[in-house]
Structure 1
Amino acid sequence: MSDSLGFQPAKLDRSAPFYVAGHRGLVGSAIWRNLQREGFTALIGRTSLELDLKDREAVFSFFAENRPRYVALAAAKVGGILANNTFPVDFLSDNLRIQVNVLDAAREFGVERLLFLGSSCIYPKFADQPIREDSLLTGHLEPTNDAYAIAKIAGIMHIQAVRRQYGLPWISAMPTNLYGPGDNFSPEGSHVMPALIRRYDEAARAGTPVVTNWGSGTPRREFLHVDDMAAACLHLLENYDGSSQVNVGTGTDVTIRELATLVAQAVGYEGDIEWDTTKPDGTPRKLLDVSKLSDAGWTSSIGLEEGIRSTVAWFRDNYLSIRS
């Protein structure tokens, strides 16, 4: 699938330098694993200690030295409702600087194909469901994560501007709620899936009689295993070229209450589940329309129950070393 740039997507050169920005995070590490499985032999990654992407001079020096042909921009400051609501300046400032520095350096040093990773929180809080790509900028954002969303929207616009001004075939992908190995399981900074896994696993270990979750449990959410997301990223790089961001998801959703039940079953928790309705629910529903992704020839393959079980197993195997 291509648009008017005249570029035709094709199989990427497995021997070309490929920089995965954020290769130690949830999304970046999955992209790295998938690229290794697919035979890429010149992967480039730097930890935040090795390269601070907020440091413009350092980023330009890195690109000048390494000259990647391909880039997956998965580096970002991320967090759940509590973190986003508490530190909006950090989420806006850090993500804008990361994006601008990497995208400007990539353009300066001739990156051929670049994939920018965003988030489904870019869409209006009350967008029609399922959410289509053209819902962008048609309504008010969810207030608890609007700063992060604005930064990601700026990234999408940056990609579109590069396409218009420089004719480069760069693209954007907007994943739904992601989960899997490498996630952030901290009580203060995690998203709903890892937060529930940690909460229920610890409750099962301790024999806690009641687990209390935030909100009413009624909001509906779509969840995509991060290994599926990684596969979709490579598929888009090799099969899609368009100015519109592409939604990446499963096309199905569950209530948070249903999700909590699935997690409790996966960890073997048998106590009671209660809900603290004084805490915010966030967006009432967020289901993505994945027609554009389907038209590009890709659909998810990891079912939710299977994905939760494997993530619980990974969490338990890595309990002492995970981000907590």
Structure 2
Amino acid sequence: MTSDAASSPPLLPPAARVFVAGHRGLVGSAVARRLAAEGCQVLTRTRDELDLRDAERTARFLRAERPDAVVLAAARVGGIMANSTYPVPFLEDNLRIQLSVIAGAHAADVDRLLFLGSSCIYPKHAPQPIREESLLTGPLEPTNEPYALAKIAGICQVQSYRRQFGRRYISAMPTNLYGPGDNFDPETSHVLPALIRRFHEAKEAGREEVVLWGSGTPRREFLHSDDLARACLLLLRAYDDETPVNVGCGQDLAIAELAALVADAVGYRGRIGWDTGKPDGTPRKLLDVSRLEKLGFAPRMPLETGIRETYRWWLHSGS
């Protein structure tokens, strides 16, 4: 190690004070748990305490607390139906949150920040598996374009603060996530929790068939939120580059296969039908995770086990 490297401050100090924006959500709660388990002091604020869309209040909070690092996991998120129905808040709320938190962190002289985006930033027909270099090389999936554009703006903001001010800000692009703390609302949930709820309610009602959106042929990749949290900690400690990093497991399956797994985990024994008049979304979305693997990351939670654990969590959560 050179003398310069030896004298450089660590990317994430031991026992760091870390503000996790969005700590009540699926991603933020998992990240907060992991950081706390590793001896970090986790700073949080509820939405009632601090509306992250309010740039002035957010900047004031960050200047007062001066955390060692920020993890920006706060976002308005949802599935195909929510994105298609409410494009304005998916665009504007996410832009406001990102501008407030990232600019506020810089103004408070916070030198380390991790921005969490989404794999939907990539073109609809990007070559598979999707490499980070595919960003901005083709048209986006129309059903979530406003959300994707907001996340792309967040990546650009991170890169701009690196280039202009030398900030050690980084971006990570997770694949489809699931786990405890997920959103099971029938109007706004993503595909996996939506399937859990649909099959559970069908089992309880004794329905002979559950009809799902689309054809069942699109392929998706799923990562447990605890595995994402492990990846986030690794990136905070070991990664410092402007290129966003894909976070996934490197394996995918058809939505029809996922539905069968969820039905089995829930105990639903009826038929599964498909409404092909409804949109499928992107045909396939599998991330190239070689950049993350080179840092030493490998997921630990098998999908079948994760689905069963998530179902049990939901049953006991009362949500």
Shared fold (TM-score, shorter chain, > 0.5): yes
Q: Which residue of 2 aligns with 1:215?
A: 214
- Measured after TM superposition, the shift of residue 10 of structure 1 is 4.1
1:132 to partner: Cα distance: 0.1
- C-alpha separation between the residues in 2 aligned to 1:159 and 1:265? 42
Measured after TM superposition, the shift of residue 60 of structure 1 is 1.2
1:195 equivalent to 2:209? Answer no
- TM-superposed CA distance for 1:6, in Å, is 11
Alignment partner of 2:20: what SS?
strand
1:154-195 CA-partner distances (Å, limit 9, x unpaired): 000011111100111110000000000001100000000000
**CA-CA distance at 1:11 after TM superposition:** 6.7
Distance 2:36 2:210 in 1: 40
Deviations 1:261-305 (A, max 9, x none): 000000110011100001000000000000100111111111111
Give 1:278's aligned residue.
277
Query: Any runs of at least 4 consecutive aligned residues in structure 1 with deviations exceeding 3 A, and if so which?
Result: 5-11
Matched, 1:232 2:231: yes
Alignment partner, residue 253 of structure 1: 252
Shift of 1:9: 8.1
- Alignment-mate amino acid for residue 93 of structure 1: E
What residue is the counterpart of 2:29 in the other structure? 29
Native 8 Å contact 2:11 2:112 kept in 1: no
SS in 2 for 1:278: coil
What SS does the corresponding residue of 1:247 show, helix, strand or coil?
strand
Equivalent position SS for 1:170: strand
RMSD (CA atoms): 1.5
Q: Give the percent of matched residue pairs that are identical in Structure 1 and Structure 2.
A: 61
**Residue aligning to 2:121:** 122
In structure 2, relative to structure 1, the CA distance for the partners of 1:9 and 1:116 (3 Å cut) is farther
Higher mean C-alpha displacement, 181-190 vs 197-206: 197-206
Q: CA deviation at 1:16?
A: 3.0
- Greater shift in the superposed pair: 258-267 or 9-18: 9-18
Equivalent in the alignment of 2:155: 156
Query: What is the Cα deviation at residue 209 of structure 1?
Result: 0.9
Report the number of matched residues.
315
For the pair 1:66 / 2:92, whether they are aligned, the reply is no
SS at match of 2:168: coil
Are the counterparts in 2 of residues 9 and 240 from structure 1 also a CA contact under 8 Å?
A: no
What is the identity, as a one-letter code, of the residue corresponding to 1:26?
Answer: L
Measured after TM superposition, the shift of residue 39 of structure 1 is: 1.6
Per the normalisation by structure 1, the TM-score is: 0.95
2:296 is matched with 297
Is the Cα–Cα contact under 8 Å of residues 262 and 305 in structure 1 kept in the other structure? yes
The TM-score normalised by the length of structure 2 is 0.96
Superposed CA deviations along residues 117-167 of structure 1, whole A, max 9, x for unmatched, are 000000000000000000000000000000000000000001111110011
Query: Following TM superposition, by how much is the alpha carbon of 1:14 offset from its aligned partner in structure 2, in angstroms?
Result: 3.9
Partner of 1:52: 51
Give 1:13 deviation, angstroms.
2.7
- Give the Cα–Cα distance (whole angstroms) in 2 for the partners of residues 243 and 6 of structure 1: 22
Letter in 1 for 2:223: L
Contact 1:8–1:241 at 8 Å: present in 2 too? no
Structure 2 unaligned runs (5+)?
none
Which moves more between the two structures, 15-24 or 210-219?
Answer: 15-24
